[in-house]
Amino acid sequence: MKQLDDQIRAQIFKALSDESRLAIIRTLYYSGKELSCGEVGEKCNIVKTTASYHFKTLREAGLTATRKDSRTKYVSLCEDTFQTYLPGFLETL
């Protein structure tokens, strides 16, 4: 179990080691709600293809969740992951 937790932590830290991904997390946290991927990209000044890569990295680390409604994708924070592995982190943004 401890080895699995260490693997999860390593993936989380890797996902958070990029300024653009930190900006995405910050934007979602301060919005207090899910946002469309396009909205997040605009607010963080990230082009669509780059944003897609960052969303995938964050999702695979369990930090965000994505849902699709028609043609629009929405992204939200997985606050449980932050509370489990990085308690208090979101408040430091």
Whole domain around residue 40: which residue ranges? 2-92
HSE-up of residue 1 (Cα within 13 Å, Cβ side):
0
**Predicted local confidence at residue 28, as pLDDT:** 98
Residue 69 — φ and ψ, nearest 5°?
-130, 105
The tens digit of pLDDT for each residue in 6-43 reads 899 999 999 999 999 999 999 999 999 999 999 999 99
Tens digits of residue pLDDT in 48-62 = 899 999 999 999 999
Tokens read off for 16: 């958070």
Q: Looking at the predicted structure, is the pLDDT value of residue 4 above 90?
A: no
pTM: 0.92
CATH number at residue 9: 1.10.10.10
The residue ranges of DSSP E strands in the chain, in sequence order, are 35-36, 64-69, 72-77
Number of domains making up the chain: 1
